[in-house]
C-alpha cells in the first residue's frame, strides 16, 4: 500500500505549531526575563507571522557584516512630500520625505514565481544594510499612524529596497548679507561613514517617482512658502567626502531657497522711498515758517529710524550690514541731510539780519570819513536861479542844497550802500592779500548766499537731492542684483 500524503495545509499547520512551540520554549527557558532579539527568535516570529504567505529563510552561510561585493552601488531616492518650515535664526529646514535606499543582494534567494516579498522590518538586523549617513542631518523621526512607515522588500532579481517615511531637520549654512535679495544654497550629502569608495558607491536612480526611487516629479520640483520658493535638484556629479581612513562616495541633493521679494518691496522699500521724496517738499516751504518745515523733516526722520529698528529686529542676523539695512540707513541720511540743509538756511538768515547789519554799519561809518561830496559846478545863471540857504556856524556860512537837488543826494546814498556790500566787495578787484581775510570773505559770501531771502540754497537742493537719490538707486540695485545673480 502507498502511504497517504499529508495535505499541504496540514503540513503548514504542523510547521506553524512546531515553530510556536519553539518560541514558547525560548521564552520559558528565559524565565520570562527580557532579552535582546537574536537571529533564531526573529526568524521564528517572522515565519509565524508570514506563514500564510511564504516561509523565507536566510541562507546559513550568509554574513551580514560583509557587503554583497566589491564596489557595491547603493541607489538613493527621495520623494519630498512637504516643506514644513524654514528657521532662519537656527539655519534649519524641516522636510517630510519618503526615503528609499536600494542595492543588489545576490546572496539572498527568492521563491520561484514570486516578483517580490515583503519582509518584516526587524529583518534589517539580519541582512547587510548600508550604513547610510546624512551629513547635514539634525534630527529624524519616522512617521507612524497605526504603525511605522517603514518597509523592507526583496525583489526576484535580488534587489533589496528599504523605504522610510520620515520628518527630517536639515542644518543649512545661510548667509544673510544680501537679505532680502539672498539666495540660500544647501547641499545634503548621502554617504557612508564606514565603507570607502572601493566598497560602496552612492548614486541617484532615475526611476518613476511613484516607486520612490527617483527624486521628485516635475510638478513637485519646487514648493512655495510665504517667504521662500524652495527648489530641489539632484547633483549627478560624483562627490567625495574625505574623512577617517579614506575617500567616501556621496550622493548630493541641492536645496535652493529663493526669497519672495514682493512683500519686502511693499513693506520696506516703497515706504522708505516715499519718506525721502516727501522730505524734498520741505525745500518748497518758506524758511521763515519754522514749525511747518521742522515738523515735516523730523517726523520723516523718526519714521525711518523706527522702520530701521523694526527691520533689524525681525530680520536674521548677519556678520555684516544686510542689504536692506544699507538701504534704510541711506534713506535716513538723505532725510538727515535735508534737515541739516534747513539748519544752514536758518543760520544764514540769522547772520543776514543781525551780524551782517552791524558789519554794514561799521563799514559805512569808515567809508563816510574817506568819501567827500562831489564838487558842485554851478554857473552864473544857475547861481542866480538857485536859491541858497544856510545858517551861520561859528562865523562860517554853511550852504545847503534845495529841494530840487534831493534826487542827486538819493543817488549818492545808493552808490555808497552798494559799494559797502560784502558780496560786491569780494567780487571786486581789490581782494585782501591775507589768507585769513580771504577765507573770511569767502565765508561771508557763502553765508550770505545761504541766507538769501529768495531761497537760493533751497532751489539748488531741490535739484541736487533728487539727482543724488536717483544715482544712489542705480548703484544700489546694480551692485546687489549682480551679487544675487552670482549666488543663483
| pLDDT, tens digit, 9 for 90 and up, residues 374-431 | 555 545 444 444 444 444 444 444 444 444 444 444 444 444 333 344 444 444 444 5
How would residue 167 be classed by pLDDT, with cut points 50, 70 and 90?
very high
pLDDT value for 6: 44
- Whose grid coordinates read 526611476? 207
pLDDT tens digits, one per residue of 233-266: 888 888 888 877 788 899 999 999 998 899 899 9
Q: What value does the mean pLDDT take over residues 123-134?
A: 89
Q: Which pTM value belongs to this model?
A: 0.66
Q: What is the pLDDT of residues 77-111, one digit of tens each?
A: 998 889 988 998 899 999 999 999 999 988 888 77
Q: Give pLDDT tens digits for 150-164.
A: 999 989 888 999 999
Determine which of 17-21, 27-31, 138-142, 345-349 has the lowest per-residue pLDDT on average: 27-31
- State how far the alpha carbon of 140 is from the alpha carbons of 137, 166, 169, 191, 391, in Å: 7, 7, 7, 16, 117
Average pLDDT for the chain: 75
Amino acid at each position: 500500500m502507498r502511504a497517504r500524503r499529508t495535505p499541504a495545509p496540514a503540513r503548514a499547520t504542523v510547521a506553524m505549531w512546531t515553530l510556536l512551540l519553539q518560541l514558547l520554549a525560548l521564552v520559558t527557558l528565559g524565565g520570562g526575563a527580557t532579552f535582546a532579539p537574536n537571529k533564531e527568535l526573529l526568524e521564528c516570529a517572522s515565519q509565524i507571522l508570514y506563514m500564510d504567505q511564504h516561509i523565507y529563510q536566510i541562507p546559513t552561510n550568509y554574513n551580514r557584516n560583509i557587503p554583497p561585493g566589491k564596489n557595491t552601488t547603493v541607489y538613493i531616492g527621495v520623494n519630498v512630500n512637504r516643506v514644513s518650515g524654514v528657521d532662519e535664526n537656527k539655519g534649519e529646514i524641516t522636510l517630510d520625505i519618503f526615503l528609499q535606499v536600494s542595492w543588489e543582494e545576490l546572496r539572498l534567494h527568492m521563491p520561484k514565481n514570486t516578483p517580490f516579498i515583503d519582509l518584516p522590518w526587524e529583518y534589517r538586523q539580519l541582512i547587510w544594510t548600508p550604513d547610510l549617513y546624512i551629513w547635514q542631518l539634525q534630527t529624524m523621526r519616522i512617521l507612524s499612524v497605526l504603525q511605522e512607515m517603514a518597509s523592507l522588500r526583496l525583489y526576484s532579481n535580488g534587489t533589496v529596497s528599504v523605504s522610510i517615511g520620515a520628518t527630517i531637520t536639515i542644518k543649512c549654512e545661510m548667509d544673510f548679507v544680501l537679505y532680502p535679495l539672498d539666495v540660500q544654497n544647501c547641499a545634503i550629502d548621502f554617504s557612508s561613514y564606514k565603507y570607502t569608495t572601493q566598497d560602496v558607491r552612492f548614486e541617484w536612480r532615475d526611476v518613476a517617482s511613484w516607486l520612490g526611487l527617483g527624486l521628485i516629479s516635475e510638478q513637485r520640483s519646487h514648493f512655495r512658502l510665504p517667504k521662500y520658493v524652495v527648489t530641489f535638484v539632484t547633483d549627478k556629479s560624483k562627490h567625495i567626502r574625505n574623512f577617517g581612513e579614506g575617500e567616501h562616495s556621496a550622493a548630493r541633493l541641492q536645496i535652493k531657497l529663493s526669497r519672495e521679494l514682493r512683500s519686502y518691496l511693499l513693506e520696506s522699500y516703497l515706504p522708505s522711498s516715499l519718506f525721502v521724496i516727501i522730505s524734498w517738499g520741505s525745500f518748497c516751504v518758506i524758511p521763515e515758517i519754522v514749525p511747518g518745515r521742522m515738523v515735516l523733516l523730523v517726523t520723516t526722520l523718526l519714521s525711518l529710524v523706527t522702520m530701521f529698528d523694526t527691520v533689524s529686529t525681525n530680520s536674521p542676523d548677519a556678520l555684516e550690514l544686510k542689504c536692506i539695512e544699507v538701504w534704510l540707513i541711506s534713506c535716513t541720511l538723505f532725510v538727515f541731510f535735508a534737515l541739516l540743509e534747513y539748519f544752514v538756511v536758518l543760520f544764514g538768515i540769522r547772520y543776514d539780519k543781525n551780524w551782517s547789519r552791524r558789519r554794514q554799519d561799521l563799514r559805512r561809518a569808515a567809508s563816510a570819513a574817506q568819501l567827500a561830496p562831489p564838487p558842485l559846478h554851478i554857473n552864473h545863471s544857475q547861481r542866480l536861479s538857485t536859491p541858497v540857504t544856510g545858517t551861520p556856524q561859528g562865523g562860517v556860512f554853511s550852504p545847503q542844497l534845495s529841494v530840487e537837488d534831493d534826487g542827486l543826494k538819493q543817488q549818492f546814498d545808493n552808490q555808497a550802500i552798494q559799494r559797502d556790500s560784502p558780496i560786491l566787495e569780494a567780487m571786486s578787484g581789490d581782494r585782501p592779500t591775507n589768507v585769513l581775510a580771504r577765507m573770511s570773505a569767502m565765508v561771508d559770501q557763502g553765508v550770505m548766499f545761504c541766507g538769501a531771502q529768495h531761497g537760493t540754497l533751497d532751489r539748488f537742493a531741490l535739484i541736487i537731492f533728487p539727482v543724488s537719490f536717483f544715482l544712489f538707486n542705480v548703484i544700489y540695485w546694480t551692485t546687489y542684483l549682480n551679487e544675487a545673480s552670482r549666488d543663483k
